[in-house]
Amino acid sequence: MKYELITIDSNPLPIIEWQNARVVTTETLAKGYGTTEANIRKNLSRNKDRFIHEFRTGI
């Protein structure tokens, strides 16, 4: 797994690669949008059809 940092709006956020693909974690999304992980999960469950299945499943 490759791990780097990028700064967006003064927030250091990680760039994470897993199996040669860039991925975004729930924690990173929450920090980037200024919300909670619970809110990100709630929105994911409400919009499952808009996400690629491979990236919805946990490790």
Q: What is the pLDDT of residues 13-27, one digit of tens each?
A: 888 888 888 888 888
pTM over 0.85, yes/no: no
Q: Which two tokens stand for residue 54?
A: 């491979």
| pLDDT confidence of residue 4 | 74
Q: From start to end of 1-59, where are the E strands?
A: 2-8, 11-18, 21-23
CA distance 52 to 30: 19
| pLDDT confidence of residue 46 | 92
pLDDT tens-place values along the chain, 59 residues long: 666 777 777 777 888 888 888 888 888 889 888 899 999 999 989 988 887 665 555 55
